[in-house]
Structure 1
Amino acid sequence: MSSRPEPLRLLQVTTLVSTLDRFAMPPMLLAIAADLGAPLSSVVAAAGAYFLVYGLGQPLWGFASDRFGRVRVLRVSLLVAGVLSLVSAASPTVLALAVTRGLAGGFFGAAYPSALIYLGDTVAPARRQQAITGLMVGTALGTAAASAGAGLLADVASWRMAFLFTGTASLVLVFALARLPEPITEGRPATPRSSLVAVRRSPITLLVLLFAFVEGVVLLGALTLLPPAVESAGASASVAGAVTGVYGLSVLVSSMTVGRLSLAWHPARLILLGAGSAAAGTCLLALSQRPAVAVLVALLVGLAWTAMHSSLQTWATEVLPGSRAVVVSLFAGALFVGSALGAVAVAGLADAGRFGVVYAGYAALAVPLGLAAWGARRRWHRPGEEP
């Protein structure tokens, strides 16, 4: 069964809204801290709560998707996430914000993995990475809009407006996704126990999950702290958000290029390209956090995301086809748990304005990540595929 244009468009809009909600907070960290009278480290921790709950909830969405259906789980999760986003907009304290954003992250966590599983169920392996990079169009637009729009809203109105918008858009999507057909899968779905046993017994699957964890620390960490890093150099929230918005445009352009390259290049080459871009970008920001430098960094990190992340995501849909939903959910969980723990680890450095040290650490992690993932993916072949 091949993916039809309408389902892909609906999934792109879904990823746009969920990404918009996920990346709305980083450009507003300083504005939220000032409005709520809280230290930046507390607001960074609140943002980390979103990613942590987002990541920890991933396996549950994988099990639920197998049990109740991809589309039903997606619609119910967006309904609850939308309500929680509306409630978070009224948060009077940083603690209330951390709780409501964390819960919203848990339910928004079903959006992108469900879309990815849907493509894994409906698109042939040979064209799957191209479809997944197409899905990144929604991610790119959501990131760009959140990065530029949230910072602007924080400057001219209120940071609360961003969550009012994503909450409302999520509720609208609940009705729009009623048109999305449920994919037809062969055989009975795997049970949670059998899926977890299969994952535990598959060294290559565990390795892919480890790559996702480290990638979350490096790429999502670099992106989350990009706005406050730029603001630490004297830029306004609007300028910092606009600089970060370049990342979204980079993902948008890079996704089309990487989609075409995926038909001709081995995924290992794309992983190496992405890791090299990540290492170069984080090295640059370790040296300078000026807006002009950050624009180039945003371009490089956007290329890193589309080249390396899409390759690792596609790999996650292939390593254990019989337990695809659970593996993809664990992959997303590892990614965001890595991001959350990484944010907690560097919160003190960020609060002290030592962004050069933070980004030097990201660069140091990007190199072994890229080399290890490149080597492992080059040696791995799909079951039944000739080496």
Structure 2
Amino acid sequence: MSSEAHSRQAAAPPAGAAAARPERVPTAFVVSCFLSNFDRFAITPMLVAVAAGFDVPLSDVVLIASGYFFAYGAAQPLWGMLSDRYGRMRVIRGTLSATTVCGLLSAAAPSLTALVVLRIATGAFFGAVVPTSLTYVGDTVPPAVRQRALSDLQLALAIGTAAATVVAGTVAQLLSWRVMFAIPAVLAAAAVLSMRGMDESRAEGTLRRPGDQLASVLRLRWAWVVMLFGLVEGAVLLGCFTFLAPALQDQGFNTVSAGGITALYGAGTLVFSRVLKRVALRAPWSLLLAGGVMICVGFAVAALSPSAVGIGAAAVLLGGGWSFFHSSLQNWATTLVPAARGTAVALFVAALFVGSSIGSALGAPLIQHTSYPVLFAVAAATAVPLTVFAAVARNRYTPAGS
């Protein structure tokens, strides 16, 4: 039986899911995903302001960002296993509550050392939001319309990314960087309050023991395939996207201008996520193919024309690639091991962030010689086999039990 036929025969969502609009994601989860990206992407524009506030070199402040990013990615498997054992709602309520405390303490941090520790903790707790939200969607939304629901989460993540790059620098300059750390903390508390009364989504038969959860995922060949695709996607898309703004700054654009141009990535994700919702019922492999083509073309444009126009066009296309390609991989990850869905999704997300770190590290030597066109050309070339193999594999994939 094909994966599409299996999707049509999927069981109805558990109690608590919306019956009239099964693809609708609860607003609290949409807001939580927005906050996750907003808090994460707001760090970089504030580094200079934080350094000035503590009167320390900028190099000392970088650990605020790198420590946050590392903790955000490294904590993913932990949250996945905990959500399988104790439930999605317990995990997301608990971690959002913790981000509220850490965020407010960050706003009042008396020293750089204290701020670094608090931001690492905040990153670890915010790292639970996206995989838990994806797992909740996997539990409550039938496979046939799940892609539509995931597009709503992609939209929230895109808006969070774009808003952070615009708002963070402005708030830090006009008010204080401390205010910027407090904003997502307060909003996270509001999200927790809005989740009161929401039903647990975990299906019957979910594995509770961490060893069983990991074993059920890691012994599945398709799980390794999807994680590998996530790893390469992270290296190509997230890792190389990091260098779009520096490529513009290398040509004389200031930080604000470069950030504004690359923020078109958020606009691209916004537009294409709406397009995705209209075509989400098409064959999954075709959505992967469409997204991969946009990634290839986007980096090719940046390589051929690393100007404001070229980088801006590339950012829009990469936003489209993220909407189609990445959300299709996310959807795939939710179908791998229903009995350990939280663990499977979290391992996929962890692979994505490991890949982004690898991509940034491999690109660094080229950036030292300002070889931005070469870097973007390599990214475009790598995206070609990634797209082909992912589309072919998705077409051949049959969920367990089909």
What's the TM-score once normalised by structure 1's chain length?
0.88
Are residues 97 and 214 of structure 1, via their aligned partners in 2, closer, same or farther at CA, if it must alter by over 3 Å? farther
Distance across 1 between alignment mates of 2:141 and 2:51:
44
Distance across 1 between alignment mates of 2:117 and 2:383:
31
Task: Report if aligned partners of 1:17, 1:170 keep a CA contact under 8 Å in 2.
Answer: yes
Pick aligned residue for 1:101 from 102, 106, 119: 119
Corresponding residue for residue 85 of structure 2: 67
Distance across 2 between alignment mates of 1:27 and 1:287:
28
- Secondary structure of the corresponding residue to residue 200 of structure 2: coil
| 1:232 to partner: Cα distance | 3.0
Correspondence 1:343 to 2:343: no
Written as runs of structure 1 = structure 2, the 5 A alignment for 1:361-372 is 361-372=378-389
Distance across 1 between alignment mates of 2:177 and 2:294:
32
Task: Report if aligned partners of 2:264, 2:315 keep a CA contact under 8 Å in 1.
Answer: yes
Task: Report if aligned partners of 1:149, 1:241 keep a CA contact under 8 Å in 2.
Answer: no
Are residues 188 and 251 of structure 1, via their aligned partners in 2, closer, same or farther at CA, if it must alter by over 3 Å? closer
Correspondence 1:25 to 2:43: yes
**271-280 vs 159-168, greater mean Cα deviation:** 159-168
| 1:156 to partner: Cα distance | 4.3
| 1:151 to partner: Cα distance | 3.5
- Secondary structure of the corresponding residue to residue 217 of structure 1: helix
| 1:70 to partner: Cα distance | 0.7
Task: Report if aligned partners of 1:58, 1:329 keep a CA contact under 8 Å in 2.
Answer: yes
Pick aligned residue for 2:242 from 187, 199, 224: 224
Are residues 202 and 325 of structure 1, via their aligned partners in 2, closer, same or farther at CA, if it must alter by over 3 Å? same
Written as runs of structure 1 = structure 2, the 5 A alignment for 1:167-178 is 167-178=185-196
Pick aligned residue for 2:398 from 367, 381, 386: 381
Corresponding residue for residue 166 of structure 1: 184
Are residues 383 and 67 of structure 1, via their aligned partners in 2, closer, same or farther at CA, if it must alter by over 3 Å? closer
| 1:216 to partner: Cα distance | 1.3
| CA distances 1:233-289 after superposition (whole Å, capped 9, x unpaired) | 3223332232233221221221111122121x2111111211121122223323444
Could you tell me which runs of 5 or more consecutive residues in structure 1 were left unpaired when the two chains were aligned: none
Correspondence 1:53 to 2:53: no
| 1:134 to partner: Cα distance | 1.8
Amino acid aligned to 1:199 = V
Pick aligned residue for 2:137 from 113, 116, 119: 119
Amino acid aligned to 2:308 = P
Correspondence 1:281 to 2:310: no
Could you tell me which runs of 5 or more consecutive residues in structure 2 were left unpaired when the two chains were aligned: 1-11
Q: CA RMSD in A?
A: 2.7
Distance across 2 between alignment mates of 1:99 and 1:360:
38
- Secondary structure of the corresponding residue to residue 17 of structure 1: helix
Task: Report if aligned partners of 1:55, 1:332 keep a CA contact under 8 Å in 2.
Answer: yes
Distance across 1 between alignment mates of 2:383 and 2:108:
38
Corresponding residue for residue 14 of structure 1: 32
Distance across 1 between alignment mates of 2:300 and 2:52:
30
Corresponding residue for residue 79 of structure 1: 97
Are residues 289 and 177 of structure 1, via their aligned partners in 2, closer, same or farther at CA, if it must alter by over 3 Å? farther
Correspondence 1:148 to 2:166: yes
- Secondary structure of the corresponding residue to residue 14 of structure 1: helix
How many residues align? The count is 383
* Max Rg structure: 2
